[in-house]
Amino acid sequence: MEGMEKRILIAILLSMLVLFVYPFLFPPPPPPPKDQIAETSPRKSEEGGASPAAETVEVSGAVAAEEKTVTVETDLYKAVFSNRGAVIRHWELKQYWADLKKQNNIVLFDPGKIIIGAYPMAVSVSDGELNKLLQGGLFSVEGGDARLSHENPKGSLIFTLVDPNSGKGVRKAFTFHNESYTVEIEITPINLGGNYAVSTGSNFGISEWGAASMGGFVGPSSLVGTKLIKDKVAKIKGPLQYEGDIKWTAVQDKYFISALIPQGKVNRVIVSKDHEKDVHAAIEIPEGQKSAFMLYAGPKEYKRLKALGVGLDESISFGWFIVWELSVISWMAKGLFYLLQVFYRLSHNYGVAIIFLTMLVRVAFIPLTFKSFKSMKDIQRLQPEIQKLQKKYKDDRAELNKAMMELYKTHKVNPLGGCLPMVLQLPVFIGLYNLLANTIELRQTPFILWITDLSIKDPYYVLPIIMGISMLIQQKMTPSTVDPTQAKLMLIMPVMFTFFFLNFPSGLVLYWLVNNVLTIGQQYVTTKYFYK
């Protein structure tokens, strides 16, 4: 989560803690005197990818006469290649829509979306003249327009260009599969000798720059060894180089990603920005070696990315606290995501699945919630004694704290019992936030009536308003451990939460609303039958 939304969520979490911690750490002052007033796995082979130094290659007739485009369509995407540079000029996802009207598909790359920069799968070298030829020259093409299907599941294109004067050039071979977003790529340098780099292409993988407005990440990222590196676009001032075991490099937004996955060992990735919002990454191959890659250009569906077996699923923002990014929160969110999928398979409605998931989480925390309620009720009953102590030791804070601890000990009351359960629930809440705000499975997914997309805000603000009312009722039912003046101030919390939640994803608001309703029910039953 980025920017304002992170600050809002932190404010919410701090507000939750204030509700429970404040009365214990800062008890009310003594009464004044009367005279005062938060896919198919492309396994990375040890032998594949970059091979020993390339042999001299003899290629003839590798000069095209005119520019042409080649279109490859599968059930999942439509890709348009140009023989000028042998690069991708258009990449469209056929099963994802730009809006709820479903009139236009998501486009992950199109020249109109960049100002200047590299095209996907462009090869660059240090030799200026040769580099100009490789990126702007006309490659010969083996293969033509193709429409893959179940009956015709595989296709290929081969582009070749050789400088007739120097005999240097490149051959690019692409292999496509009908039911996969992956493309196998083999690049054979022809008499190059020196290093060359293969680019992801500027902004290839970004469908919407504003996609991080409610979580997620927009920009280039790389997995180097076990370290996930995310480069914020605004902070890229010049080329950034990362060295190590490059697992993949990518450009992504909240829901989509274009990743270049080397199939052999490569040691360097270079991240660049050609304009304020034209970013790309390139993998460098040393000494003119032959190289193999897997291109994944599609949705950040957890199952597909996980199946690739290279850690590409880490691009999904399941956690955002620095300390917990790949541990508690991430682990919690992934577990909740699994349960959400189970409930979706049962109900075929993600809104209903969220309700079931909330009920399960609520049941799991019943013992903690009961202890919290009991602790607050006990402290509420001790308020007359506490006020006497505050009056007696109004000028001696140390003695007051000592006397209050003795009072709690005598009555076997834990002063932190009311807030500890809430602290333990924070990882679950944050995990659910990341899950509901960042997973593509909820994108453009309807619930009921006016809720046509659980990943965006309620267009009529009905859910946030009902949620605020439920929170007010819950607060009224919660035992008060503060004086009347402080209690009145606390009534502003439901208003603040309602305001915060107006622009939150409706799926998250639905979770919070259902959680409040279940908490109200539990408090009612506890008060009536277990702890009067």
Q: pLDDT tens for residues 281-309?
A: 999 999 889 999 999 999 999 999 999 99
93 by Cβ neighbours in 10 Å (0-12 / 13-18 / 19+) ranks as: buried
> Where is average pLDDT lowest: 10-14, 67-71, 338-342?
10-14
* pLDDT higher than threshold 90 for residue 82: yes
Q: What is the C-alpha separation between 119 and 501, in angstroms, rounded?
A: 40
Confidence grade of residue 321 (pLDDT, cut at 50, 70, 90) = very low
Q: How high is the pLDDT of residue 279? A: 93
Q: What is the C-alpha separation between 88 and 125, in angstroms, rounded?
A: 19
Q: How high is the pLDDT of residue 396? A: 76
> Where is average pLDDT lowest: 120-129, 288-297, 437-446, 508-517?
437-446
Q: How high is the pLDDT of residue 16? A: 57
Confidence grade of residue 348 (pLDDT, cut at 50, 70, 90) = very high
* pLDDT higher than threshold 90 for residue 187: yes
Sheet holding 219-224, edge to edge: 140-142, 154-162, 169-177, 182-190, 291-299, 256-262, 246-252, 219-224, 227-230
Pick from 479, 415, 389: nearest CA to 31: 389
- Rg for the chain, CA atoms, rounded: 30
Using a pLDDT cut of 70, give the percent of the chain over it: 79
Q: How high is the pLDDT of residue 202? A: 93
Strand pairing category for 182-190 and 291-299: antiparallel
> Where is average pLDDT lowest: 116-130, 223-237, 321-335, 369-383?
321-335
Q: How high is the pLDDT of residue 48? A: 42
* pLDDT higher than threshold 60 for residue 59: no
Q: What is the pLDDT of residues 463-502, one digit of tens each?
A: 999 999 998 888 777 655 555 666 666 678 788 888 888 8
Tokens matching residue 430: 């944050």
Confidence grade of residue 69 (pLDDT, cut at 50, 70, 90) = very high
Q: Which residue has the higher pLDDT, 9 or 257?
A: 257
Where are the domain boundaries for CATH 2.70.98.90 in the chain?
A: 69-307
Partners of 146 in the beta sheet? Answer: 72
The fold of 69-307 is Beta-galactosidase; Chain A, domain 5 (2.70.98)
